[in-house]
Amino acid sequence: IYNWENIMKTILMLKYGTKYSKIDVDRIISATGGKYHYACITDDPDLDPRVQIIPIPDDIDGTFRKIWMYSLENLGDILYLDLDVRIQKDIDHLWKYIDNTPTIVYTYWKDVGFVDQPHSGYSMQYLSNYNSSAVLWKSGSPDAKIIWEKFSEDPDYYQIKYWGDDRFLWHEGF
């Protein structure tokens, strides 16, 4: 039986550029009671001292930095949260769903056939029924690392083909 109570639990965030501020990072810490290990992939070294700073790789653009997070190790159990997520109640129960394979939000609010419908325009190609605003996995697991390994085979190709990490994950079968 997996004893999830004795494993380090990390809330992982991603902050780059100016869209979000350290206030958004602080809000996540406050909403979760400050009781977890916090880490942030960021270009901002001026965050709350409770946050482990993980420097952003230079060679990956925008939301594809989320794909890189699957390569991270030694963070225990990870719950990744976008900085615009609003936590309204206790989230402790989510850790019970931890697995080696990343658990990602399925967009139940979209029709299941949404991604297969014909769309016009490049930005409407390769749609996804995933929403990576919240993802849960065990750091260092082979099932997570393979996501980064696949992407890193040809990052330029995947960054041009897909408009974001959700589309990459969906269409590459993760």
pLDDT class for 5, splitting at 50, 70, 90?
A: low
Distance CA 7, CA 9 (A): 6
pLDDT (tens digit per residue) in 111-155? 666 566 665 655 556 665 567 788 999 999 999 999 999 999 999
The pLDDT of residue 2 is 40
Q: Which residue has the higher pLDDT, 66 or 125?
A: 66
pTM for this prediction: 0.85
pLDDT class for 171, splitting at 50, 70, 90?
A: confident
Amino acid at 166: D
Tell me which DSSP letter residue 106 carries.
E
User: Is the confidence at residue 48, as pLDDT, over 70?
Assistant: yes
Distance CA 44, CA 22 (A): 8
Give me the DSSP letters along 130-155. Answer: EEEEEEEEETT-HHHHHHHHHHHHSH
Mean predicted confidence (pLDDT) in 29-42: 96
The pLDDT of residue 104 is 81
pLDDT class for 74, splitting at 50, 70, 90?
A: very high
Q: Structure tokens of 22?
A: 């350290």
Q: Structure tokens of 35?
A: 């009781």
The pLDDT of residue 3 is 45
Distance CA 151, CA 67 (A): 7
The pLDDT of residue 1 is 39
